[in-house]
Amino acid sequence: MSKFTIVIHGGAGTILREHMTPELEAAYMDGLRAGLDAGYGVLHEGGAAVNAVKAAIVVMEDNILFNAGRGSVFTKKGVQEMDAAIMNGATLEAGAVAGVRNVRNPIMLATEVMLHSNHVFLSGKGANDFAIKQGVKLEPDEYFFSQFRYDQWKSIRDSDNYSLDHTHQRLEELMRDKKFGTVGAVACDYEGTVAAATSTGGMTNKKYGRIGDSPIIGIGTYANNKTCAISCTGHGEPFIRAVAAYDVSCLMEYKGLSLYDAMNMVVNDKLVKLDGEGGMIGVDGQGNHALILNSAGMYRAYRSSDGGSEIAIYR
């Protein structure tokens, strides 16, 4: 019986203590704790890693603070387009969706793709059609509306600028920073199976149907029982060029690096050389975990059956 562990993140970037009110910090900590509780509860009951990461992501998608699901940011057209992916390390089965609209929990749709579509990756209207066919819960546009994200989008919608994530309305004067809004989870269950899942609302004011790293298998999300499970958060373009998540697995499989050393090399060497800012979370089949970032902060948490746990925001 393996040590079981779950690790989650809620985005990374220039997240500084001096820019955070006590109330907002407490709200983020509560949001991370709720996601952690949901995922760990599945593992504690003997559930599979893939179900644990899905459970954690659903809770964070339902939390308006995080740029995924309900809290997703506005595109250039003033709507939400969401991406998500999930992967089972035991079978290498994976499911992903990109550019979906009105789906309450994109991670649930990605799971349906993995299990019932005979495909790996669906996008846009086709993915939404599949959601309807599978009975995945949809919500009206109003469900995804948040005033502070709308105000931020309104301030840049007539320009060619985009924002890597939301800033909270009440902190907009203070938080002249950049945050990469994604939620992710990785887990190792009691059988030693690993899984990974990632979900995002993408960039504020994004154009042309832009897709980042989060839903791309091997980039923002990857799981393989031989090595590890990884979920990334950061500026997606450098992560895509670095093949970030799979590179960690390769360093472990072919060079014999530990989980921590492989993740550290990708985050603090390879990505830095590509001006790639952000971080990643990982677990291996022994229940070891790592949370590594090259930015000022990353919303993150972990809990393991050996009693270890942490919830943190700043570097």
Report DSSP letters for the chain, one per residue. Answer: ----EEEEEEEEES--GGG--HHHHHHHHHHHHHHHHHHHHHHHTT--HHHHHHHHHHHHHT-TTSSSGGGPPP-TTSS--EEEEEEETTT--EEEEEEE-SBS-HHHHHHHHHHHSS-SEEEHHHHHHHHHHHT--B--GGGG--HHHHHHHHHHTTSS--BSS---GGGTTT----EE--EEEEEE-TTS-EEEEEEE---BT--TT---STTSBTTTEEE-TTSEEEEEEE-HHHHHHHTHHHHHHHHHHHH---HHHHHHHIIIIIHHHTT--EEEEEEETTS-EEEEESSSEEEEEEEETTS-EEEEEE-
Query: How many domains does the chain fold into?
Result: 1
91 assigned to active site: no
The whole-model pTM stands at: 0.93
Q: What is the pLDDT along the chain (315 residues), one digit of tens a residue?
A: 789 999 999 999 878 888 889 999 999 999 999 999 999 999 999 999 999 999 999 999 999 999 999 999 888 888 899 999 999 999 999 999 999 999 999 999 999 999 999 999 999 999 999 999 999 999 999 999 988 777 777 777 776 655 555 444 333 433 344 667 899 999 999 999 999 999 999 887 788 889 999 999 999 999 999 999 999 999 899 999 999 999 999 999 999 999 999 999 999 999 999 999 999 999 999 999 999 999 999 999 999 999 999 999 999
Please identify which of the residues 182, 198, 200, 233 carries the catalytic annotation: 182
Q: Read off the CATH number of the domain in which 176 is found.
A: 3.60.20.30
Range of the domain at 295: 5-314
Could you report the per-residue pLDDT of 163-178, keeping only the tens digit for each? 555 444 333 433 344 6
Could you report the per-residue pLDDT of 59-111, keeping only the tens digit for each? 999 999 999 999 998 888 888 999 999 999 999 999 999 999 999 999 999 99
